[in-house]
């Protein structure tokens, strides 16, 4: 078989990590893979052929997915003529927006439902996002485009049951047409490199969408804890255009010196950093699954996530990690306190997290994805 995977951005983000891991797993299993991407990634397995596409530098859409969708549509038409692949797989289903359905079936992966389930009112969005009015307008457009893109697909792969239910209900898509494939990551060794991150406790946040992933809640929790824990430090890995708004929150709460913005880091650097912190906290307001939490659990680090969407399918509260209601600063403070002060509980979370992470393997992700491919091909035949 020949597969086409559309990788949206660098493999350091969730969709890119998924695309790189899946395309490599397909190639290692003996399938011919053509990976079409705006960059060349960080190296892939033998058997993965690259085709590069350009994107518009003035595209305002997140991840420049609008211009990527146009570029991918042009390349799909070319590949259909030249290679006659068995199947096209869009690692981000949104980017199938301009593809015309033809003889070759199309599968797309959906990793989130934040636009689908977002409040329609900018006043409601203001509780989380500093750019509420702009975001409300974009979400309205995105919902229309997502609905159109998803309906072009022969089969949708959702990364969690929560996302599947959400897009089925909100976009009028038959639930039985959506397969659930929990994503996974390569079994990379996550070794600590360098000294421990500063702070007691040293908390690590990893994410590119600061406010959607609950960084403001974490900063407020750090401010409350600082009266008792003067050395508490939050290290933030990731880029966000609204970084200055997050910095302003830290400054207003008097913890600017306790929140370190480290910017973008390579996947290897992130993996090495897990072992240098006391805990990972990503108390998201909405989350399709939570690959960062999976990586941290595999690295033997206690985690705190938001009790939302697909994260509840990954983390079992009190067993593999701690889940807190989105925006609940008090619950987050209690969770940080308990992980720091209760050594036995902390070790239980580490052990539980490692065991839980072992059940989300790249082999299982590959097997379930291939099952989706086979069902689509059989139906087309």
Find out whether 156 and 177 touch, Cβ atoms under 8 Å: yes
Find out whether 96 and 79 touch, Cβ atoms under 8 Å: no
237 φ/ψ angles, rounded to the nearest 5 degrees: -105, 125
**Could you tell me the sign of the dihedral formed by the alpha carbons of 286, 292, 295, 296, in that order?**
negative
Find out whether 160 and 310 touch, Cβ atoms under 8 Å: yes
Asked whether residue 274 falls in the same domain as residue 176, the answer is no
Neighbours of 334 (CB within 10 A): 14
Q: Please, which residues bridge with residue 109 across strands?
A: 157
Find out whether 267 and 43 touch, Cβ atoms under 8 Å: no
Residue at 197 is within a domain: no
Provide the domain count of the chain: 2
Cα–Cα distance measured from residue 64 to residue 60, given in angstroms and rounded to the nearest whole number: 6
- In sequence order, the 6+-apart residues with CB closer than 8 A to the CB of 53 are 36, 37, 38, 68, 71, 72, 74, 75
Report DSSP state, residue 317.
Answer: B
Asked whether residue 244 falls in the same domain as residue 284, the answer is yes
Asked whether residue 206 falls in the same domain as residue 304, the answer is yes
Cα–Cα distance measured from residue 306 to residue 161, given in angstroms and rounded to the nearest whole number: 16
**Could you tell me the sign of the dihedral formed by the alpha carbons of 131, 215, 171, 54, in that order?**
positive
Cα–Cα distance measured from residue 218 to residue 284, given in angstroms and rounded to the nearest whole number: 10
Asked whether residue 154 falls in the same domain as residue 214, the answer is no
Asked whether residue 144 falls in the same domain as residue 277, the answer is no
Neighbours of 19 (CB within 10 A): 27
Cα–Cα distance measured from residue 87 to residue 85, given in angstroms and rounded to the nearest whole number: 6
Asked whether residue 279 falls in the same domain as residue 311, the answer is yes
Find out whether 150 and 110 touch, Cβ atoms under 8 Å: yes
Residue at 81 is within a domain: yes
Asked whether residue 246 falls in the same domain as residue 166, the answer is no
Find out whether 309 and 113 touch, Cβ atoms under 8 Å: yes
SS3 call for 18: helix
Find out whether 77 and 101 touch, Cβ atoms under 8 Å: no
| Confidence (pTM) | 0.92
Asked whether residue 213 falls in the same domain as residue 306, the answer is yes
CATH number at residue 76: 3.40.50.2000
The count of C-alpha atoms lying within 13 angstroms of the C-alpha of 41, restricted to the half-sphere facing its C-beta, is 25
Tokens matching residue 89: 């797989």
Q: Can you list the positions of beta strands (E) in 111-215? A: 155-158, 178-180, 202-206
Asked whether residue 23 falls in the same domain as residue 121, the answer is yes
pLDDT in tens, the chain (381 residues): 556 655 544 445 778 888 888 888 998 999 988 888 877 655 666 778 878 887 777 877 777 778 888 888 888 888 788 778 889 999 999 989 998 887 889 999 999 999 999 999 999 998 899 999 999 998 999 999 999 999 999 999 999 999 999 999 999 999 999 999 999 877 665 555 678 999 999 999 999 899 999 999 999 999 999 999 999 999 999 999 999 999 999 999 999 999 999 999 888 889 899 999 999 999 999 999 999 999 999 999 999 999 999 999 999 999 999 999 999 999 999 999 999 999 999 999 999 999 999 999 999 999 999 999 999 999 877
Residue at 191 is within a domain: no
Cα–Cα distance measured from residue 150 to residue 171, given in angstroms and rounded to the nearest whole number: 9
Q: 74: domain range?
A: 2-184+361-380
Cα–Cα distance measured from residue 7 to residue 42, given in angstroms and rounded to the nearest whole number: 12
For every residue of 288-304, DSSP letters joined together read: SS-HHHHHHHHTT--EE
Asked whether residue 289 falls in the same domain as residue 317, the answer is yes
Tokens matching residue 156: 């949708």
Residue at 50 is within a domain: yes
SS3 call for 136: helix
Instruction: Find, among 8, 51, 44, 53, the residue nearest to 26 by Cα.
Output: 44
């Amino acid at each position: 078989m020949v597969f086409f995977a559309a990788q949206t951005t660098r493999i350091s983000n969730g969709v890119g990590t998924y695309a790189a891991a899946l395309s490599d797993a397909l190639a290692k299993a003996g399938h011919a893979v053509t990976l079409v991407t705006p960059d060349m990634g960080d190296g892939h397995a033998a058997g993965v052929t690259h085709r590069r596409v350009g994107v518009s530098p003035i595209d305002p859409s997140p991840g420049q997915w609008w211009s990527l969708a146009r570029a991918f549509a042009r390349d799909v038409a070319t590949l259909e003529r030249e290679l006659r692949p068995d199947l096209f797989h869009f690692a981000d289903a949104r980017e199938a927006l301009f593809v015309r359905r033809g003889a070759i079936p199309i599968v797309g992966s959906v990793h989130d439902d934040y636009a689908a389930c977002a409040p329609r009112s900018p006043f409601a969005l203001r509780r989380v996002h500093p750019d509420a009015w702009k975001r409300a307008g974009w979400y309205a457009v995105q919902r229309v485009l997502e609905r159109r893109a998803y309906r072009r697909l022969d089969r949708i792969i959702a990364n969690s049951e929560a996302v599947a239910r959400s897009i089925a209900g909100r976009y009028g898509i038959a639930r039985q047409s959506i397969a659930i494939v929990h994503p996974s990551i390569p079994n990379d060794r996550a070794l600590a490199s360098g000294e421990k991150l500063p702070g007691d406790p040293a908390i690590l946040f990893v994410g590119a969408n600061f406010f959607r992933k609950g960084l403001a809640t974490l900063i407020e929790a750090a401010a409350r804890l600082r009266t008792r824990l003067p050395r508490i430090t939050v290290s933030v890995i990731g880029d966000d255009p609204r970084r200055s708004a997050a910095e302003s929150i830290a400054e207003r709460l008097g913890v600017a010196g306790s929140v370190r913005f480290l910017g973008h880091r390579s996947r290897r650097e992130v993996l090495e950093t897990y072992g240098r912190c006391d805990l990972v906290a990503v108390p998201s307001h909405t989350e399709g699954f939570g690959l960062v939490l999976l990586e941290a659990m595999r690295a033997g680090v206690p985690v705190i996530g938001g009790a939302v969407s697909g994260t509840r399918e990954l983390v079992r509260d009190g067993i593999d990690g701690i889940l807190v209601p989105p925006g609940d600063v008090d619950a987050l403070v209690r969770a940080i306190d308990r992980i720091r002060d209760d050594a036995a509980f902390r070790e239980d979370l580490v052990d539980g997290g490692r065991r839980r992470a072992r059940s989300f393997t790249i082999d299982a992700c590959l097997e379930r994805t291939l099952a989706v491919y086979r069902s689509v091909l059989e139906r087309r035949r």
